[in-house]
Amino acid sequence: MTNSATISDVSLLDELKQRANDQLLKWLPDTSKTPTNLHQAMHYAVTNGGKRLRPLLVYATGLTLGAKLEQLDTAAAAIELIHCYSLVHDDLPAMDDDDYRRGQPTCHKAFDEASAILVGDGLQTRAFEILSAPSAHLSTQQQLQMINTLATASGIHGMVGGQALDLNAEGQTISLEQLENIHHHKTGALLTASVQLGIIAANCNDEFTVTQLETFARAMGLAFQVQDDILDVEGSLEALGKQPGADASHHKATYPSLIGLDKSKAHLQRLYQQSLNALDQLSQDTSLLEHLCGNLIERTS
Ligand code: GRG
């Protein structure tokens, strides 16, 4: 493993988060080179905190299946670049119009709107640039599969499509089924892609293993969103790094608004169990993925 931690050691997650941060710094543009304002804004949008959940899922899945860290590095960085771009664009006045993200002014507040749009564009294209660059650790077939997986999950069939559904639903009465569909696209697709990137890096073609991991990812992705909705009701400004109550003020349908807080919490526990059950079926040591999933359910930010 990285230093001394083994796959069942919780401290490995801290080491992997550090590795993800190092990778991101490696691929971000030089802030002393022109256009310096764009490069500085890109740094700001990526290095302003963040749990690095998606890179951690890439590393944890890959390591569980026997991949080497070097085979996971570009995928881990690329998916976080996509996630950071989505947050910058989501915070823009034309979308959620948020002033704070990760406890600091949003990118368009710290810089300006035009810069924030370009930051998102620059981060997104950089993700595919690094995934497609010549690699000493991945075959071209693996690279192509990774690019296809990330593009599909982040584009119209995934996150971008989900964001459109979400914007269309503002102020509307929607069913629980419609809400789940929005979340599977808007946030679930990228979380599932994180697991799929780890599977590709490990060259795992075992159908049963892939199905169980995708079942895990789907349940965990939804659990992540239910927890996000609960935090928007019960979370604090300090822990969240943004104002709670944003969903209600945007008249957004959420789990608490549709089924109430208690039922939302019970639903979260059910989804957590489903994700653990899927991992339980696997012959590999899945303790790293279990730790990560547990952290996610208990998160306060
Ligand atoms: C603008 C195309 C486009 C898409 C935006 C994901 C998304 C789509 C918007 C984010 C809106 C939001 C707050 C959704 C709730 C779930 C979520 C993605 C929370 C933020 O992710 P974390 O908790 O963030 O992983 P950190 O800051 O830890 O990286």
Q: What tens-digit pLDDT sequence spans the chain (301 residues)?
A: 554 567 667 789 999 999 999 999 999 999 999 999 999 999 999 999 999 999 999 999 999 999 999 999 999 999 999 999 999 999 999 999 999 998 899 999 999 999 999 999 999 999 999 999 999 999 999 999 999 999 999 999 999 999 999 999 988 889 999 999 999 999 999 999 999 999 999 999 999 999 999 999 999 999 999 999 999 998 777 777 677 777 777 778 899 999 999 999 999 999 999 999 999 999 999 999 999 999 988 887 7
Choose one of 44, 53, 87, 194 to mutate for the ligand 1 pocket test, by most ligand atoms within 8 angstroms of C-beta. 87
Instruction: Determine the pLDDT at residue 172.
Output: 87
Closest ligand 1 atom to Cα of 120: 1
Judge whether 217 and 64 are in contact, CB under 8 Å: no
What would you report as the CA-atom Rg of the chain, rounded to the nearest whole angstrom? 19
Give CA–CA dist 257/276, Å, rounded. Answer: 27
Q: Where are the beta strands (DSSP E) in the chain?
A: 100-101, 104-105
CA distances from 125 to 13, 87, 132 (A): 28, 15, 11
136 Cα to the center of ligand 1, angstroms = 32
Distance 42 CA to ligand 1 centre (A): 17
Q: How far is CA 252 from the centre of its chain?
A: 21
Cα 191 to ligand 1 centre (Å): 11
Distance CA 50, CA 46 (A): 8
Distance CA 229, CA 246 (A): 10
